[in-house]
Amino acid sequence: MRVSAWITLGIASYLLFLIFNFPAQQAIGWVSASDIRPPVEFMGASGTVWSGGADRVVYRKIPLGKVKWHFRPANLLLGRLAYEIELTDAGQKITGVAKAGLAGGYRLEQVEGLLLANRIPQLIGQNQLNINGKVDLNDLSLDYEDGRLTSTEGRIRWLDASVASPINLQVGDLQADLSTDDTGSINAQIKDLKGTTRIKAEVSLKNDGNFQVDGTVKPGSQTDPGLNAALSAIARSKPDGSFQLKYSGRI
């Protein structure tokens, strides 16, 4: 082999070494200083851009815990950066695949795990709510673009659900099946899983932020009295003891 060929091979090998060992901390610094401005911040990053982690990840100033990532190069063929991620915090663990389109937009898919319900109001900007319990995520996907959620699919179970404010009541276990229709509206079919209170409702969130709730709640003999009082104030009672709930608003 000629000397020039050895030199070319050596330079190529060195460049590959640099690429595959590029520090995650330096890459995050470059992205943070650019106009890309991703919706999350990483602190205490270690490892490389291909496989590494961060001691703390923050979304809109809300700490989410520790994160590990592993690059999935095959998605580059589809015009996306993709990483397998694992997010852990006290009492919480979530796994999934995070994708960023080269033309913009973000997507989470194959999301599985358990998170604490009291973190959700902060994440969706509804701090007036105070809820408790655990949320089980099952094959959840979310698309995020231009600062808003544009679509979602999957199943969510809210276990040992309770509300502390604006009213105080115990709910039980709930399940929501999520889908997005052709108009871009996000829909949830909600039902109870156990407990004496029977719940069946449909929730629709339009892409302009307006939402509507339409459902039926039938308290049982052991239902928290606070729920009956709350429903009497906002819903229409029916002869069978259930309440017809219709509510709309904006987030």
Residue-wise pLDDT tens for the chain (251 aa)?
A: 454 444 444 444 434 444 445 556 655 555 555 555 666 788 888 888 778 888 888 877 788 889 898 888 877 777 787 889 999 987 789 999 988 877 778 889 999 999 889 888 887 777 788 889 999 999 999 998 877 788 999 999 999 888 887 767 777 889 999 999 988 899 999 999 877 788 899 999 888 788 898 999 888 777 777 777 777 777 888 888 888 888 888 77
Backbone angles phi, psi at 149, to 5 degrees: -80, 125
Q: How far is CA 131 from CA 111, 113, 128, 163, in A?
A: 22, 19, 10, 4
Q: Is the peptide bond before 166 cis (omega within 30 degrees of 0)?
A: yes
Q: Which residues is 174 bridged to in the sheet?
A: 158, 192
R_g over Cα of the chain: 23
Could you give the 3-state DSSP secondary structure of residue 15?
Answer: helix
Q: Cα 119 to the chain's mean position, in Å? A: 11
Closest CA to 152 of 99, 111, 119: 111
Residue 14, C-beta contacts closer than 8 angstroms, at least 6 positions apart: none
